[in-house]
Amino acid sequence: MEYVMSELLIKARDGRYGIPAVDTFDMVSVLSCFLAAEKEKSPVIIMTCGYELEYLHINYADFVRLVRAIAERFPEVPYSIHLDHGTEEECYAALEGGFPSVMYDGSFGPFDDNVAVTAKLKKAAGKDRCVEAEVGRVGGEEGKGMSAESTIIESDPAELVEFLAKTEADTIAVSIGNIHGVHGFVKRAPKLNFELLQELRSKCGVPLVLHGASDIPEADINKAVSLGISKINYYSQLFRAFMQSVKENVDLPVEECLSKGIDVLTEEICKLMRMCGSSGKA
């Protein structure tokens, strides 16, 4: 059952639970998301990045068709398709390719440029499609060509208010000490600024997103969700487990090796659904 991402996130915000958003790129990773969501009776957000599709010679329309074809097997699973960390050009290409939701990452440029591009993208997307943006800068290892030493800038509540007023973005990724990768150049679980998160939530009428959630302790995820985080992004933690399974089973026939990887990845996603509180919310 497909939804625009903002629809799922509003339900999560109002229900005080979070939804894991998983970066995927092929049949194996997409299938694992649906298997986990069916098992846990959870909604799921299926994301990809432009550079991931580029590496695998898949275009945006291909990815949308792939997800929807697999989804036909799981009619009871609420899901949404989302572009993660897109450039302006990638966001327009994804919208053209049928993505109902995109995230424009303008965090590495001037605030005014971030505002201008996000506003243009929201106008192009219209009311029936979702645009996520980032206020502040999460930093760390994320995306093709980005440096692990990228400076972290915490989200400013006043800037958040101005940003939303000027862009009408549907959801905002916040920087509260979270770090992309495991864990960027810091290489340790970040210390989240919950006081800042409370202030941001009080200023913001749209659902909030936590990027770089891999390996953040369960207690911190629980608290972040209780304070207003509705979407939690995962990549590194999941695919580290998947690749470990592949390494351990690489001498098996390829279909058996990948099958074991699917089982491992599915169980890891199930754990995240339980941790974020989305289990039983389908």
Tens digit of each residue's pLDDT (9 = 90 or more) over 43-84 = 999 999 999 999 999 999 999 999 999 999 999 999 999 999
pLDDT at 138: 80
pLDDT at 145: 45
- Do 230 and 211 meet the contact criterion of CB atoms below 8 Å apart? no
Q: Which residues are catalytic?
A: 84
**Alpha-carbon gap, residue 52 to 23, rounded angstroms:** 9
- Do 210 and 178 meet the contact criterion of CB atoms below 8 Å apart? yes
pLDDT at 188: 54
Task: Output the DSSP codes for 160-181.
Answer: HHHHHHHH--SEEEE-SS--BS
For residue 183, cis peptide bond before it (omega within 30 degrees of 0): yes
Determine what percent of the chain is predicted with pLDDT higher than 70: 91
pLDDT average, residue stretch 255-282: 97
pLDDT average, residue stretch 3-10: 97
pLDDT average, residue stretch 274-280: 97
pLDDT average, residue stretch 257-273: 97
Quick check: 151 pLDDT over 80?
A: no
pLDDT at 13: 96
Tens digit of each residue's pLDDT (9 = 90 or more) over 124-143 = 999 999 999 999 888 665 55
Tens digit of each residue's pLDDT (9 = 90 or more) over 183-204 = 444 455 568 899 999 999 999 9
- Rounded to the nearest 10 degrees, what angle do helices 218-226 and 254-276 cross at? 50
Please tell me the chain's helix, strand, coil percentages from 3-state DSSP, rounded to the nearest 5: 45, 15, 35
Quick check: 144 pLDDT over 70?
A: no
pLDDT at 216: 87
Q: What is the model's pTM?
A: 0.92
pLDDT at 176: 87
pLDDT at 264: 97
Quick check: 97 pLDDT over 80?
A: yes
- Do 40 and 274 meet the contact criterion of CB atoms below 8 Å apart? yes
Determine what percent of the chain is predicted with pLDDT higher than 90: 81
pLDDT at 184: 47
Average pLDDT score, the chain = 91
